[in-house]
Structure 1
Amino acid sequence: MDFKKIAEETFEAIGGKENITAAAHCSTRLRLVLKDEEIIDQKKLDELEEVKGTFSTGGQYQIIFGAGIVNEVYKELAKLAGISEMSTKDVKDAGTKKMNILQRFVKILSDIFVPIIPAIVAGGLLMGINNVLTAQNLIIEGKSLVEANPALADLASLINTFANAAFVFLPILIGFSATQRFGGNPYLGAVLGMLMVHPDLLNGYGYGAALIKNDIPVWKIFGFEIEKVGYQGSILPVLVSSFILAKIEINLRRVIPSAIDNLLTPLLTIFITGIITFTVVGPFTRTAGNLLTDGLIWLYDTTGFIGGAIVGLIYAPIVITGMHHSFIAVETQLLADIGKTGGSFIFPIAAMSNVAQGAATIAIFLTTRDKKVKSTASASGISALLGITEPAMFGINLKLRYPFIGAIIGSSAGSSFVTLYKVKAVALGAAGIPGIISIKPTSIIPYIVGMVISFSIAFIVTLVLAKRDERITTTKMSSEKAIYS
């Protein structure tokens, strides 16, 4: 394979040196920040056999080459562009400058929550295992596994403790990650999170009951009363407080002499932020967070399968804009407050959308005679079924358009079904076939049926639309003669 030639052709297609602001690569994709994406010769890129797909997201233009190829192409491209080795973080930062305010906000949420997803996933999956052990009628009629086998009781209790840890101490994880994202000392952010879940405080989960009984403990300081209430499982309070902490720390370091900076800055930062958190930010954002959660639950319970169908229809278009990253914060809150919410209803809908995208792509794999399209469709279709849809969506479905239409129709049908049966997830994970292990045990069968519905309808609609498109033998893919049978 002539990597130099591939790089030269790619270099020319994207507009040359003058159009490249930043460039890096991950394991499969070339990640570029371009001054003007309008001047890209998309047709030339599509005709390159080694290019498996392209898409633009988050201020970056990404070209899929595949593992083992992209790094070699990048080396040659870097020589042509005269750029030094850059990390994907450098490119992300450069791409952020091209975003509007809403896109930047979504990216901030993504940057904060993506690093802590493994902890939330681990806790959620352990919660799922605990549910399998304790749910009645799941495996044994009239009994749970623990009731049928009392020896498993302590194991279930142990797993339950492990599962709850990430959610009970969630403010610590978010405090660390958010403060780091906002430019502050992440360890001070972790301390702030610890303050918010300190055992001396009233547990946040018991706040509602204490409020009804008018039995909320307070600090009485100089005639003021400050509620001694924790923020277990809360998202919004620690996000806002972490932002305040980072800004206070940054500004203090500018005015405090370096000789005493290490002594005074952490002290004042934690003390000032702590006071602001418990007097202003905490009470206000707790109420706002509760209203948001209650609103989502109301919308889900009220609109039912119709609302599910609508969300399923628009979920993939939302993914195109990158706005789906903002759902991570919402899902985390739903899972943290699982006793009230029952879990996340967003995850099953995302899974229906991903499966539908995979089904549409597989339909293209079975109908196209173009070898490059077939190669790309086979790999990306399977990837979408497993929860990664970018290659399928951007590499096949959006370019041909009608597979994307088939996919969102299938997604809408599947989402309507899982919403009708109140399917919810107890953990985050791969939204697709592997997502079965993230679903509440009693909802696993409706979840599987929903995937079958989503897959079948997306597949059939794509085939029908492909037949209608048979008269137009020239596609917008890699070849001008991709004929669909």
Structure 2
Amino acid sequence: MSGKLQKYEPTVKEVIRLIGGKENIQGAAHCATRLRIVTDDQDKISVKDIEQLEFVKGAFIAGDQLQIIFGAGTVNDVYKVFQQQAGMDDMSLSDVKGASAKKQNAFQRGIKALSDVFVQIIPGLLAAALLMGITGLLSQPGVFGERAVVEMFPAITGINRFIQIMSTGIFTILPLLVVWSATKRFGGNPVLGLVIGAIMLHPDLGNAYAVASGEVDAELINILGLNVELVGFQGGIIVALLMGLVVAKLDNFFTRVVPDMIKLFLAPFLTVTLSGLLLFIIVGPIGRFLAEGLTSSLLWATENLGVVGFVLFAGVQQVIVITGLHHVIGAVEAQLIADTGLNFIMPLMSVALMGQGGAVLGYLYLRWHDKKARQIGISSFGSILFGISEPALFGINVRYKFPLIAGCIASAIAGAYVFLLNINALGFGATAVPGIAIISTTGGGHLHYVIANVAALALGAVFTAAYGKVKNPSFDV
């Protein structure tokens, strides 16, 4: 072992001891800042003692994983030492997630699967949303003056038009990408998912938006006595998710039962044919009904509950994160964007996050004299700024309770501001600082987004610090 790595050996040995020894380790990997360990028995883990170790900036249990914060760069070296000391093979982060998923119940696995479907798509959505933000800045009057930038500088009109085209490309094929990703996630051949996705958007089908507006009449055909409308599935995110599951299950079934001699061509043929029939006869209508109900419910809540609905969502969103159920929100956001072009959920999620970040700052104020508390607090707050709240939640706020409550109150107040100033996003998947890229410019959206997040941050810090000063709570947990 090199001299550079030797300094981490005592810490790693203690980590292994404090998690119940080598025999309790099911798998381990690392992300950018954290060592992530899946154990057989979590009762053997002493998180409090792990937090006191040298180089450790925080530790918490999220779901079925023990996550120990070492920081960028350091965690890579610590992981190498951990591998050697634990006598384990190299595992990828997806392997560890898979090992963790085996210990989850069916509902938890379902929620995680929905999250996994969108993980691979989000980078493309973020790129498109950023391009939308750029063209919005260039095209909308009032951003940099009374006239739009393209009016003040006509020479960039062509560039702006090019950016507009690039920004909308992914949304024209989003259902196709969702079917591909869902089919892959549920264990089917993703190429067959692409085929079904292409069928959903086939140009010979009536455009779903045009049919809905009455501009186009849908062609009606008869299949085995059933009348089927040939309407496309533009914006059909829920349908695409359901079809990914259908394609994967059918692919696995036919691959298993079709004789090897004819499997190569017959299994895909049966999968695509039956999936296509189910798409138009059963899954499509059900998916459309669910999607319409989901969007209508959200819009009803904003129109009828008004500021109350925004306050409630912003106030409890990070509590939902603690349960792990927040992963499903991505699917809701995608459907909302497909139906309305805007996403009012993302700004609420951002202020909810920043409220917890403010609570961390309040905690830091109260415990600045404690070196270990500073390490955990600063590291957690850094993660908050880039949209990751788990270190703050499990390392500080949930642990001491009152910072969590203070952050939720601050977030609820900022949620009211989001409602009153009508702040919306053009995409999803990013919050906090990165979220600026996907905020709609309408009505000074960027400025109000910053104000809302800073307000949540400041209020969370003030509420936490004030409670700590008045009540003088014990931090010996």
> For the superposition of Structure 1 and Structure 2, which TM-score range results when normalised by the shorter chain?
over 0.9
- What does residue 167 of structure 1 align with? 171
Quick one: distance in 2 between partners of 1:404 and 1:345? 23
Alpha-carbon contact 2:35-2:68 (below 8 Å) kept: yes
Shift of 1:120: 1.2
Shift of 1:154: 4.2
- Residue 86 in structure 1 maps to residue 85 in structure 2: no
Alpha-carbon contact 2:13-2:85 (below 8 Å) kept: yes
- What does residue 386 of structure 1 align with? 386
Encode CA deviations 1:188-230: one digit per residue, 9 max, x unaligned: 10111011001111112223123xx782222344554321111
- What is the aligned counterpart of 1:296 among 276, 298, 305? 298
- Note closer, same or farther for the CA distance 1:308–1:222 as it changes in structure 2 (3 Å cut): closer
- Residue 178 in structure 1 maps to residue 182 in structure 2: yes
- What does residue 127 of structure 1 align with? 132
- Note closer, same or farther for the CA distance 1:471–1:253 as it changes in structure 2 (3 Å cut): closer
Shift of 1:258: 1.8
Alpha-carbon contact 1:53-1:394 (below 8 Å) kept: no
Shift of 1:63: 1.4
- Note closer, same or farther for the CA distance 1:154–1:294 as it changes in structure 2 (3 Å cut): farther
- What does residue 79 of structure 2 align with? 74
Quick one: distance in 2 between partners of 1:73 and 1:338? 47
Quick one: distance in 1 between partners of 2:43 and 2:60? 13
**Comparing 52-61 and 78-87, the one that deviates more:** 78-87
Alpha-carbon contact 2:330-2:429 (below 8 Å) kept: no
SS of corresponding position for 2:184: helix
Shift of 1:399: 2.5
Q: 2:184 is aligned with what amino acid? A: Q
Alpha-carbon contact 2:385-2:432 (below 8 Å) kept: yes
Quick one: distance in 1 between partners of 2:178 and 2:473? 54
- Note closer, same or farther for the CA distance 1:294–1:471 as it changes in structure 2 (3 Å cut): closer
Alpha-carbon contact 2:28-2:36 (below 8 Å) kept: yes
Report how many aligned residue pairs link the two structures.
469
Q: 1:46 is aligned with what amino acid? A: E
Normalising to structure 1: TM-score of the pair? Answer: 0.91
The share of aligned pairs that are identical, in percent, is 39
- Note closer, same or farther for the CA distance 1:205–1:156 as it changes in structure 2 (3 Å cut): farther
Quick one: distance in 2 between partners of 1:383 and 1:62? 14
Shift of 1:32: 1.4
Quick one: distance in 1 between partners of 2:48 and 2:388? 25
SS of corresponding position for 2:227: strand
Quick one: distance in 2 between partners of 1:306 and 1:467? 30
- Note closer, same or farther for the CA distance 1:151–1:220 as it changes in structure 2 (3 Å cut): farther
SS of corresponding position for 2:306: helix
Alpha-carbon contact 1:364-1:374 (below 8 Å) kept: no
**Comparing 63-72 and 413-422, the one that deviates more:** 63-72
Normalising to structure 2: TM-score of the pair? Answer: 0.92
Alpha-carbon contact 2:311-2:413 (below 8 Å) kept: yes
Quick one: distance in 2 between partners of 1:77 and 1:145? 55
**CA RMSD for the aligned pairs?**
2.1
Shift of 1:38: 2.3
- Residue 33 in structure 1 maps to residue 24 in structure 2: no
- What does residue 3 of structure 2 align with? none
SS of corresponding position for 2:343: coil
Quick one: distance in 2 between partners of 1:320 and 1:456? 22
Unaligned runs of 5+ in 2: 1-5
- What is the aligned counterpart of 2:245 among 243, 256, 272? 243
Q: 2:306 is aligned with what amino acid? A: G
**Structure 2 counterparts to residues 239-388 of structure 1, below 5 A:** 239-339=241-341, 343-368=342-367, 369-388=369-388
- What does residue 190 of structure 1 align with? 194
Q: 2:381 is aligned with what amino acid? A: G
- What does residue 5 of structure 1 align with? 10
Shift of 1:285: 1.0
Shift of 1:93: 1.0
SS of corresponding position for 1:337: helix
SS of corresponding position for 1:422: coil
